[in-house]
Structure 1
Amino acid sequence: MSRLIFALSLVVALTSSALAQGLPTQFPILNEDGSRIANHAIAAGSIAAAEKLPGAVVAANPKGDVTLVEFYDLNCPYCRRASADVEALLQADKKLRLVLVPFPVLGIPSILAGRVEIAVSRMLPPNEFYRYHRALYAGRGVIDGQRALSAASGFNLDLQKVLEAANEDGITDIMKAHVRFADTLTLKATPSYLIGDVAIQGHPGRKSLKGVIDQVRQCGKAVC
């Protein structure tokens, strides 16, 4: 395990929502405080390509009419808040489709937790995995491999099999694939969202995110 963690840590960079400051703001998408949040246009097909990433999960409303892709790190405080806001949006908007892409770039605890989470995603149906994902945010403090493994105990999983799957070399390959893909889209913050024709870097808040969803539903673009 330690060899795999070290190898992966060499190819990821520490990022957070705060690092989104200074990045381009192509569209007038605002944070809750009225400032512009970093965003840029993405090529057609980017969302479809993100869905094909080996660790991506269509976590909610697979037949929805608007797709929101979230790249997240379990130890990013902005991602914790974003998860609650996205859940509220899903509850209010039954046509919103959610794709989750694990992007553990904030250090070894995130990598360990991410390995377990990806292993669990292969053992649970998407709706149950989404419940597991939300459960990981339920407590306070650092989310590491042991905490992610403990959370899996509430889903009738064989924890030894989860641990064995989390230690497979293929999990490292999945994480590297996610980092490489994020690099192609110049994603520099967690969380980052793909929706319509835009990548949003950082969490703008529920109201702002809903505004973008509404625009995409109306015309297929972040700004109609």
Structure 2
Amino acid sequence: MFPRLIAPALACALALPASAMDLTELTDAERAQFRAEVRAYLLENPEVIMEAVESLQGREAEAQARADFDLVTNNAGPIFDDGYSWEGGNPDGDIVLVEFLDYRCGYCKKSHGEVAKLLETDGNIKMIVKEFPILGEQSMMASRFAIATKNVAGDDSYDKIKDALMAFNGDITTAALRRLAETYQLDFDAIESKMNDDEVTREIAETRALAQKLQITGTPTFVMHDEMLRGYLPYDQMQALVAEKRD
């Protein structure tokens, strides 16, 4: 990576012949001399390496942002209006924030409070939650329970269970889910009977297919309007991005 980025610049800086721009054209002696000059130059100017790395990272980030913009634009329907994902916050908000989450994901748990704070302090954000269990059977069980709760008891109960599952740090077991249901006076038996319904299975499968199209491989992943935000973001950064989108 480094030679491709800095060799031409070094050749000019070191006043080497034009042939030095192509290392394959050098003799063994010239190549050895060039490498020695490069090494000496880098030892004297180590900031060149960091500048090259930062330049490369900047170009890669720009390319990723352009690719993500296209992915979001081409899949806007299932992202923002799939007909089944839970919606919260302000339904008429001028900012729409979509989150792909897994209840067993430590960074999802960490970001949960940040997102809640953003929704509370802003008041003009619509929130959409995509159930994306990718961390094993307990993750799948938790998502099936959450979706079944929504289908049986409604959106308000789903919201409470979603928050409870994010705060829960033990193993996801039938007994644990029963206790959560009883805490919120929900009919666990009715919810459990729906956890493996085709409707629940289809929602998870369609969300996974969407995530694959969007090249999402980890959680949390957010979509804010036309931008994909991959990974945990603290409250201040999310707030700044919201302000940027409004501008």
- Provide the C-alpha distance between the structure 2 equivalents of 1:165 and 1:51, rounded to a whole number of angstroms: 25
Instruction: Please state how far the C-alpha of 1:117 moved relative to its aligned partner.
Output: 0.6
Deviations 1:66-111 (A, max 9, x none): 0100000000000001111101111111101111111001000000
Per the alignment, do residues 128 and 61 of structure 1 end up closer, same or farther by CA in structure 2, a change over 3 Å counting? Answer: farther
Q: Which residue of 2 aligns with 1:129?
A: 158
**Does the 8 A contact of 1:51 with 1:58 survive in 2?**
no
TM-score (norm. length: structure 1): 0.74
Q: Which residue of 1 aligns with 2:68?
A: 40
Residue 189 of structure 1: which of 218, 222, 225 is its match?
Answer: 218
**Does the 8 A contact of 1:113 with 1:146 survive in 2?**
no
Instruction: Could you tell me which runs of 5 or more consecutive residues in structure 1 were left unpaired when the two chains were aligned.
Output: 1-23, 30-38, 219-224
Q: If you compute each CA radius of gyration, which structure gives the higher value, 1 or 2?
A: 2
- Provide the C-alpha distance between the structure 2 equivalents of 1:165 and 1:151, rounded to a whole number of angstroms: 16
Per the alignment, do residues 59 and 147 of structure 1 end up closer, same or farther by CA in structure 2, a change over 3 Å counting? Answer: farther
**Does the 8 A contact of 1:73 with 1:103 survive in 2?**
yes
- Provide the C-alpha distance between the structure 2 equivalents of 1:132 and 1:150, rounded to a whole number of angstroms: 11
Q: Which residue of 2 aligns with 1:92?
A: 121
Per the alignment, do residues 93 and 114 of structure 1 end up closer, same or farther by CA in structure 2, a change over 3 Å counting? Answer: same
Q: Which residue of 2 aligns with 1:25?
A: 61
Deviates more, 1:78-87 or 1:144-153: 144-153
- Provide the C-alpha distance between the structure 2 equivalents of 1:122 and 1:167, rounded to a whole number of angstroms: 12
- Provide the C-alpha distance between the structure 2 equivalents of 1:194 and 1:119, rounded to a whole number of angstroms: 24
Specify the code of the residue in structure 1 equivalent to 2:62.
Q
Specify the code of the residue in structure 2 equivalent to 1:63.
D
Per the alignment, do residues 144 and 104 of structure 1 end up closer, same or farther by CA in structure 2, a change over 3 Å counting? Answer: farther
Residue 53 of structure 1: which of 52, 62, 82 is its match?
Answer: 82
Q: Which residue of 1 aligns with 2:104?
A: 75
Per the alignment, do residues 173 and 212 of structure 1 end up closer, same or farther by CA in structure 2, a change over 3 Å counting? Answer: same
- Provide the C-alpha distance between the structure 2 equivalents of 1:91 and 1:133, rounded to a whole number of angstroms: 17
- Provide the C-alpha distance between the structure 1 equivalents of 2:174 and 2:107, rounded to a whole number of angstroms: 20
Q: CA RMSD in A?
A: 2.3
**Does the 8 A contact of 2:152 with 2:190 survive in 1?**
no
Instruction: Please state how far the C-alpha of 1:148 moved relative to its aligned partner.
Output: 3.4
TM-score (norm. length: structure 2): 0.68
**2:179 aligns to what SS in structure 1?**
helix
- Asked which structure has the greater RCO (Cα within 8 Å, sep 6+), the reply is 1
Q: Which residue of 1 aligns with 2:43?
A: none
**Does the 8 A contact of 2:142 with 2:165 survive in 1?**
no
**Does the 8 A contact of 2:219 with 2:230 survive in 1?**
yes
- Provide the C-alpha distance between the structure 2 equivalents of 1:107 and 1:55, rounded to a whole number of angstroms: 23
Deviations 1:31-54 (A, max 9, x none): xxxxxxxx9324336444223335
Instruction: Could you tell me which runs of 5 or more consecutive residues in structure 2 were left unpaired when the two chains were aligned.
Output: 1-59
Per the alignment, do residues 54 and 150 of structure 1 end up closer, same or farther by CA in structure 2, a change over 3 Å counting? Answer: farther
- Provide the C-alpha distance between the structure 2 equivalents of 1:182 and 1:203, rounded to a whole number of angstroms: 17
Specify the code of the residue in structure 1 equivalent to 2:149.
V
Instruction: Work out the number of aligned pairs and report it.
Output: 186
Q: Which residue of 1 aligns with 2:140?
A: 111
1:161 correspondence with 2:190: yes
Per the alignment, do residues 144 and 50 of structure 1 end up closer, same or farther by CA in structure 2, a change over 3 Å counting? Answer: farther
**2:73 aligns to what SS in structure 1?**
coil
